[in-house]
């Protein structure tokens, strides 16, 4: 019989490609991780990892096993949650896949409050690309997804989570810094840092610029980055201007490193959604969190992006 702890060790080692990092995350020793992997390989009669000059790599057998191992862990957690729910306890693991910058600021605090209400729940927030959220939900790797657009898949349902505010930022010594507002046409003059293609921020910005007959090709984009914090730091260092979530600018703005500028006529708001799988088995932590976000006591967090506008 396969030990579920050894399966869990394998999954963590496969995700990190490091026995030492897996040991740190699982709060066990590195020799224990090595022993778990060795025992698993012996039971299955295959090699799961190979060592290279750059570190660990999954073998073909390891790549085949990984999705099955994740599914086994998911089913085990679901079984435990179902047994606990019979006793009317909200306990178990809640995995939330988050693909938005704004979500990373609001979600952790909301999850922490949720855990205070339901101390038997352990929350894991999984950072991922927007295109991966739907897949993780459908395959059961995540119970809830947070993303910047409604999910069109019939196997998922979504609800509005909160509304984010997007802002244009410039370096503190930029010539626009004391103007407060600019015309959209003035953006054509400036070197611009843009979010990646799948970003909700990028989608909203391009949609609003289209009102002024400005397309992606009209802009002087010299860099694309998939991380809002990295964009803010680059702008604060004096390189270009950028559109980012207002939440990501809070600390740099307070330090005076960047200045936010209004673009006249542009409505830079982005709705953030929460999604879950429909028709799936009962999962009390997921269902409790689905309703918890609209508890009146959480209004301060839900409206945080608007308060920073």
Q: Which residue(s) pair with 127 in the sheet?
A: 98
Helix (H) or strand (E) holding 94: strand 92-98
DSSP E strand boundaries for the chain: 49-52, 55-58, 92-98, 121-127, 144-147, 156-171, 181-182, 191-195, 220-225, 241-245, 258-263, 269-277
Residue ranges per structural domain of the chain: 4-67, 90-162+271-307, 163-270
For the chain, how long is the longest CA-to-CA vector? 69
Rounded Cα gap, residues 89 and 95, in angstroms: 18
Q: Topology of 90-162+271-307 in CATH?
A: D-Maltodextrin-Binding Protein; domain 2 (3.40.190)
Domain 90-162+271-307 and domain 163-270, same fold? Reply is: yes
Which residue carries 């855990």 as its tokens?
A: 115
**Per CATH, domain 4-67 is 3.30.70.1560:** no
The pLDDT assigned to 191 comes to: 97
Phi first, then psi, for residue 14 (nearest 5°) are -70, -35
- Give the residue ranges of the chain where pLDDT is below 70: 1, 78-88, 254, 280-281, 305-309
- Structure confidence by residue, pLDDT tens digits, 100-137: 877 888 899 999 999 998 998 999 998 888 778 888 89
Class of domain 163-270: alpha beta
């Amino acid at each position: 019989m396969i030990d579920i702890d050894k399966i869990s060790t394998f999954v963590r080692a496969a995700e990190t490609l490091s026995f030492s990092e897996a040991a740190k995350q699982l709060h066990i020793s590195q020799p224990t991780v090595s022993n778990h992997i060795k025992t698993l390989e012996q039971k299955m009669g295959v090699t799961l990892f190979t060592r290279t000059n750059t570190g660990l790599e999954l073998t073909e057998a390891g790549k085949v096993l990984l999705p099955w191992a994740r599914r086994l862990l998911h089913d085990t957690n679901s079984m435990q949650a179902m047994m606990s729910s019979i006793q009317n306890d909200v306990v178990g693991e809640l995995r939330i896949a988050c693909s938005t910058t704004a979500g990373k600021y609001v979600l952790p605090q909301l999850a922490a409050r949720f855990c205070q209400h339901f101390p038997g729940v352990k929350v894991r927030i999984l950072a991922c690309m927007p295109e991966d959220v739907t897949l993780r939900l459908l395959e059961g790797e995540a119970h809830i997804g947070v993303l910047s657009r409604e999910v069109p898949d019939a196997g998922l349902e979504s609800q509005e989570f909160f509304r984010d505010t997007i802002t244009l930022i410039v370096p503190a010594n930029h010539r626009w810094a004391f103007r407060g507002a600019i015309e959209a046409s003035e953006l054509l003059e400036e070197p611009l840092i843009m979010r990646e293609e799948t970003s909700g921020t990028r989608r909203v910005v391009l949609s609003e610029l289209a009102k002024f007959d400005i397309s992606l090709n009209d802009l002087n984009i010299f860099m694309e980055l998939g991380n809002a914090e990295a964009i803010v730091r680059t702008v604060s260092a004096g390189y270009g201007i950028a559109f980012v979530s207002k939440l990501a600018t809070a600390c740099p703005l307070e330090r005076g490193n960047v200045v936010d500028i209004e673009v006249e006529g542009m409505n830079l708001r982005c709705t953030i959604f929460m999604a879950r799988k429909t028709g799936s088995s009962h999962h009390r932590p997921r269902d409790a969190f689905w309703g918890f976000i609209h508890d009146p006591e959480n209004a301060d967090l839900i409206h945080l992006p608007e308060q920073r506008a």
